[in-house]
Structure 1
Amino acid sequence: MLLLAALAGAIATPSLDEATRALAAGRPEQARQMIASAVASGASGPAVDRLLADLAFQEGDWVRASAGYAALLPARPSDAHLLQQAGIAALHMNRSGEATMLLDKAVAQPGAGWRAWNARAVAADRQKDWGIADRAYAQALKVSPDNPQLLNNRGWSMLLRGEWSAAVGFLERAAALTPEDAKIAANLDLARSAVAESLPARRPGESDGDWAARLNDAGVIAFRRGDRQKAIAAFAQALETSDRWFARAANNLAYVESKK
C-alpha cells in the first residue's frame, strides 16, 4: 500500500517538461503551479532556474527575467534562447548597450530565429543604425516572411526614417494578415496620413484616448519630416481630445513651437 501511494504521488507531481509546455502554450499561472509542485518534490538546479526566468519573461517582469538569464549565461554562454530572451528583456528596460551585445551573440548562433533578428533590428532602430536594422529585418523576414509583427516593426522602422510610402507597403501587408490588430491598423493609418499630409481621422467608436494617441504620433512624424504646422495642429487636436494625453501632447507642442 505504501509503495502504491508513493507511486501515485509521483505520478500526480507535474514534471518540468509539463511546465515548459504550459509556458509555450501561454499559460503562465498553470506553469507557476507546476514549477512550485516540482520544486516541492525536490526539483532544483539550472532547469528550474531557466523555467523561472522564462516565466518572469512571459509575465513581463523584465528585471527578474534579466537577473535569471544573467545567472544562467556564464555556464551556457552560447545558448541562443538565453541570449535572445536576455537581450529582449534588456530592450524592455531601455538598456540599449546590453541589449545590443546580447542580441549580437544571439543572432550569431546557428539557426537564429526571427525573434532574435527582430529584436536586433528594433535595437538598431532605437540607435538609428538603419543599415543594421535593414539587414536584421531582412534576415528575420527570410525566416518568417508572413509574420505580421515583423512586418509591422519593419513598417515602423521606415516611419522613423521618414520613408512614408515604404512604411505603407509593409504595414498594409501586416494589416492584411491580421485585420483585427488595432496597433497595426493605427500604424497604417499614421503612415497613410503622412503620405497624404493629413491628420488621422477619428474612427467610428474610437475612444478619446486612442484617437489622441494617434494624433500625438502623427504630430511627432510630421515634425520629423519638417512639417511644423501640421505637427502643431496634431498636438493641439490631441490636447483638445483627451485629458490623459494632455501632458505629453502639451510638452510636444511647446517644443515644436519653440523651434521657430
Structure 2
Amino acid sequence: MSLIAALLVLAGAPVSAAPGVSTSLAEAAHALEAGRVEQARLMIGAAVAEGAAGDRLDRLLADLALARGEDSEAFAAYQLLLKRNPSDPQLFERAGIAALRSDQPEWATILLDKAVAAPAAGWRAWNARGSLADRSGDWALADRCYAAAVRLAPERMEPLNNRGWSLLLRGRPAEAISWLEHAAALAPEQQRISDNLELARTAAAADLPSRRPGEADEAYAARLNDAGVVADRNGQRDRARAAFARAIEARPDYYLRAANNLARLGPPPP
C-alpha cells in the first residue's frame, strides 16, 4: 500500500473533523517546509485520524510524497490537484519537480515553464528549470534560471551547486569551483556538493579523482563515472574513457552505467 493510501485509511472511517485539525495541518506543513519529514508524516497521520479531508490534506500528502522521494506517486497526486486548481503556480512548481525527478522531461518542461512564468515564481521552480536547461544544453536559459534562483534564495546551496555543475558540463571547471565552494560552505555535510567540488578541482587540473581513505567501491566508481561524463561533455574523449574504465575496475560487481558510457564512446581512434 502506498504512503498516501496508508494515511487515508489510518483511522478507518473518517469522523467529523476536530476543531484543531486545521492547526494540525498547518503545523505539518511547517514541519515539511523545515525538512522534518518524519515528524510531518506523523502529524498528517494524526490529522487524518481526527477527520482531516479535502484539498488541503491532498496537497500535504502530495508534498509529503515528494519530500520522501516518492516522485511518481507525488506526480500523480499533483496531477489530480491541478485538475481542481488549474492555475495554481505552486502546484505547477511541485508537479514539475516531481516530473523532473521521475524522468518525465516533457511534462517537467510544460509545468516548470508555467511555474516560472508566474510573477511570484519561487527559487525551487527556477532551479529545477535550470536543471532541465542543462539537460538540453540550453546554457543561456540555464544561466537565467540559476541567476533568478540565487537572487531569490542566496542562502540555499541547491542553486549554487547546480550552477557549478552546469559550468562543469560546459568545460569551465575553474569557474565552477567558486560556486561549488560557496555551496559547500553553506552545507558542509552534503557529500554530493563535496564530490562535485573535488570533481571541479580535478577537472581543472586535468586529473581524475583519487580514492579517499576508506571509500566504498560504489561511491568511488560513481565519482569516476561523473568525471567521465564531464570529460565527455567537454570533448576530452581519452580522459572520459580512462575515467569510465577506472570506474568499472573500482567496482567488482561491474559498474553497468560506466560500462554503457564506455561502450557509447567506442574504441579510441587508431
Please, which moves more after superposition, 207-216 or 133-142?
207-216
What corresponds to 2:65 in structure 1?
56
Tell me by how many angstroms 1:132 deviates: 1.1
Distance 2:191 2:257 in 1: 21
Match of residue 99, structure 1, among 108, 115, 120: 108
Tell me by how many angstroms 1:245 deviates: 5.2
Please, which moves more after superposition, 111-120 or 226-235?
226-235
Unaligned runs of 5+ residues in structure 1 are 1-8
Opposite residue 113 of structure 1, the aligned amino acid is G
What corresponds to 2:218 in structure 1?
209
What corresponds to 1:6 in structure 2?
none
Opposite residue 223 of structure 2, the aligned amino acid is R
Match of residue 71, structure 1, among 74, 80, 83: 80
TM-score normalised by structure 1 residue count = 0.87
Answer yes or no: is the 8 Å Cα contact 1:211–1:241 preserved in 2: yes
What corresponds to 2:13 in structure 1?
none
Answer yes or no: is the 8 Å Cα contact 1:78–1:109 preserved in 2: no
What corresponds to 2:208 in structure 1?
199
Match of residue 117, structure 2, among 108, 113, 123: 108
What corresponds to 2:91 in structure 1?
82
Aligned positions, number: 252
Alpha carbons of structure 1 residues 223 and 120: separation in structure 2 relative to 1, 3 Å: closer
Tell me by how many angstroms 1:74 deviates: 3.0
Distance 1:48 1:41 in 2: 12
What corresponds to 2:9 in structure 1?
none
What corresponds to 1:3 in structure 2?
none
Tell me by how many angstroms 1:256 deviates: 2.6
Distance 1:174 1:37 in 2: 37
Alpha carbons of structure 1 residues 220 and 21: separation in structure 2 relative to 1, 3 Å: closer
What corresponds to 2:135 in structure 1?
126
Answer yes or no: is the 8 Å Cα contact 2:241–2:265 preserved in 1: yes
Matches within 5 A, 1:32-51: 32-51=41-60
More helix by share: 1
1:229 pairs with 2:249 = no
Opposite residue 249 of structure 1, the aligned amino acid is A
User: 1:48-96 CA deviation, whole Å, 9 max, x = no partner?
Assistant: 2112111211121122211221112233233222111100000011111
Tell me by how many angstroms 1:121 deviates: 0.7
Percent identity among equivalent residues?
56
Opposite residue 81 of structure 1, the aligned amino acid is Q
Distance 1:220 1:30 in 2: 38
Unaligned runs of 5+ residues in structure 2 are 1-16
What corresponds to 1:137 in structure 2?
146
Please, which moves more after superposition, 110-119 or 236-245?
236-245
Greater C-alpha Rg: 1
Opposite residue 76 of structure 2, the aligned amino acid is A
Answer yes or no: is the 8 Å Cα contact 1:212–1:245 preserved in 2: no
Distance 2:97 2:64 in 1: 14
What corresponds to 1:170 in structure 2?
179
Distance 2:246 2:198 in 1: 17
Distance 1:27 1:146 in 2: 19
Opposite residue 211 of structure 2, the aligned amino acid is R
Distance 2:18 2:107 in 1: 42
Please, which moves more after superposition, 64-73 or 82-91?
64-73
Answer yes or no: is the 8 Å Cα contact 1:213–1:245 preserved in 2: no
Q: Secondary structure at the match of 1:153?
A: helix
Answer yes or no: is the 8 Å Cα contact 2:221–2:250 preserved in 1: yes
Answer yes or no: is the 8 Å Cα contact 1:209–1:244 preserved in 2: no
Answer yes or no: is the 8 Å Cα contact 1:114–1:139 preserved in 2: yes
Please, which moves more after superposition, 39-48 or 140-149?
39-48
